[in-house]
Amino acid sequence: MSEATPLPAARPLDRRDARTLLLSALGGALEFYDFVVFVFLTQQLGELFFPQGTAPWLAQIKVYGIFAAGYLARPLGGIVMAHFGDRSGRKRMFTLSVFLMALPTLAMGLLPTYAHIGMLAPLLLLLLRIVQGIAVGGEVPGAWVFVAEHAPATRTGLACGSLTAGLTAGILIGSLLAAWLNARLAPARLLDWGWRVPFLLGGVFGFAAVWLRRWLSETPVFAEMRERQQLSRELPLRVVLAGHRRSVVVSMLVTWMLTAAIVVLILMLPTLAPKGFGIPPRLAFFGNALAACALTVGCIAYGWLVDRCGALQILLLGSLLLLAGTWALFADLAAGGAHFLGLYAMVGLLVGVVGVVPVVMVQAFPPPVRFSGLSFSYNVAYAVFGAGTAAMIGWLAVHAGRMAPAWYVVITAVVGAGVSAWLLLRREVG
- Tens digits of residue pLDDT in 189-207: 888 898 899 899 888 888 8
Q: Smallest Cα–Cα separation from 98: which of 146, 63, 66, 65?
A: 146
Using pLDDT thresholds of 50, 70 and 90, give the confidence band for residue 430: very low
Residue 175 CB burial class (10 angstroms; 0-12, 13-18, ≥19) = buried
Average pLDDT (262-278) is 86
Return the closest-CA partner of residue 139 out of 364, 290, 397, 358. Answer: 358
pTM: 0.79
Q: How confident is the model at residue 3 (pLDDT cuts 50, 70, 90)?
A: very low
Helix (H, G, I), strand (E, B) or coil at 158: helix
What pLDDT, on the 0 to 100 scale, is given for residue 330? 95
Mean local confidence (pLDDT), 155-175: 85
User: Do 71 and 240 contact (CB within 8 A), yes or no?
Assistant: no
Q: pLDDT tens for residues 21-71?
A: 777 777 778 777 877 787 778 778 888 888 887 777 677 778 878 877 877
| Predicted confidence (pLDDT) per residue in 347-397, tens digit | 999 999 999 999 999 988 888 888 888 989 988 888 788 767 777 777 777
Round the average pLDDT of the chain to a whole number and report it: 83
At the fourth CATH level, the homologous superfamily of domain 15-429 is MFS general substrate transporter like domains (1.20.1250.20)
Cα–Cα distance between 330 and 328 in angstroms, integer?
6
pLDDT at 7 over 60: no
**Sequence ranges of the domains in the chain:** 15-429
pLDDT tens, residue by residue, 299-327: 999 999 999 999 999 999 999 999 999 99
Say whether 217 sits in a helix, a strand or coil. Answer: coil
For residue 108, what are the CA distances in angstroms to 41, 167, 322? 12, 21, 35
CA distance 196 to 174: 13
Alpha carbon 376 to its chain centroid, in Å, reads 15
Query: Measured on CA atoms in the order 392, 398, 402, 404, is the torsion positive or negative?
Result: negative
Please return the burial class of 127, using the count of CB atoms within 10 Å of its CB with bins 0-12, 13-18 and 19+.
Answer: middle
76-118 residue pLDDT tens = 878 887 777 776 666 777 778 778 888 888 999 999 988 889 8
Question: Are the C-beta atoms of residues 166 and 303 closer than 8 Å to each other?
Answer: no
